Amino acid sequence: MKKTLLKTPPIGVPQNIERMIRGADAYDSSCSPEARVYYIDRDGGYFLKRAAVGTLEREAQMTAYFHKLGLGAEVLDYASGECDWLLTSRVIGEDCTHADYLSSPERLCDTIATTLRGLHEMDAPDCPVPDRTAEYLAFAEKNYTSGNYDKSHFPDSFGYASAEEAWRVLSEGRSALKSDALIHGDYCLPNIMLDGWKPSGFVDVGNGGIGDRHIDVFWGIWTLWFNLGTDRYRDRFIDAYGRDKIDENILKIIAAAEVFG
């Protein structure tokens, strides 16, 4: 986790949250242009997130739900005004980009694969997002219609030569996607917490809900490629997760959806 000590505390913090963090050292821990994330060094650690108005409401709901299941941080406060603020407790341990984990890639691969299978096997009948797949497909369609064809994170676009080809694959295959498992929605190494190789929770679960497990499987494969700089762990990840639950054809449909941002 990156931490840069701030000389002055975050500006514009809502009063209720400001009272909780007043006088504590604050560190910039941001890793995305869409949000600012601050680590607050108090009571074992808090994380304070600031983003555009309305963008953290879902994350607050799903974080609270994951915490209820024993899978994530406690939501301490959520406020929305000129922007959104979300204050949570710290999940113990370190995320999977820590050097101790990256230095053992085979063990890391197996750990995040089995951890993901465990998440997908959980019973979650009261999840506040009961059909994440429908939202996922609607988002891809909106971006296709508006011309948002984002290849920046996918150098070869998974073999799709154009937006039209990817859209054809997605349109023809979308009915194969289900909403039958609790998913994280952004299953990448920075969002998976381990405490001495033992899973301790998940962060950044705003894209979670009841959805298609292949969305998480796709990102699990992608994050190993991205963070380790090689695709050699793809088959190992699938084997560790369990090939009995993975359809390679559906992974191709997910890949088609993902190039639309």
Among 25, 41, 110, 186, the one annotated catalytic = 186
Domain that holds residue 169: 94-258
Last residue of a domain, one of 89, 116, 144: 89
Same domain, 61 and 147: no
Same domain, 165 and 43: no
Same domain, 59 and 113: no
- 66 burial level (CB within 10 Å; 0-12, 13-18, 19+): buried
Same domain, 158 and 224: yes
DSSP-assigned states of every residue in 55-106: SSHHHHHHHHHHHHTTSBPPEEEEEESSEEEEEEEPPSSEETTSHHHHT-HH
DSSP one-letter code for 32 = B
Same domain, 64 and 173: no
Total count of domains within the chain = 2
Same domain, 146 and 210: yes
Same domain, 243 and 137: yes
State residue 157's pLDDT score: 45
Last residue of a domain, one of 89, 110, 130: 89
Instruction: Encode the chain (261 residues) as per-residue pLDDT tens digits.
Output: 677 888 888 888 999 999 999 999 999 988 777 889 999 999 999 999 999 999 999 999 999 999 999 999 999 999 999 999 999 999 999 999 999 999 999 999 999 999 999 999 999 989 999 999 999 999 999 999 998 886 666 555 466 878 898 999 999 999 999 999 999 999 999 999 999 999 999 999 999 999 999 999 999 999 999 999 999 999 999 999 999 999 999 999 999 999 887
List 26's β-bridge partners, or say none. Answer: 40
State residue 37's pLDDT score: 93
- Full-model pTM: 0.94
Q: The CATH number of the domain where 179 resides is what?
A: 3.90.1200.10
Same domain, 109 and 217: yes
Buried b (16+ CB within 10 A) or exposed e, 219-231: bbbbbbeebeeee
Last residue of a domain, one of 70, 89, 108: 89
d(CA 54, CA 86): 11
Cβ contacts of 230 within 8 Å, gap of 6 or more = none
186 is catalytic: yes
State residue 151's pLDDT score: 63
Same domain, 111 and 68: no
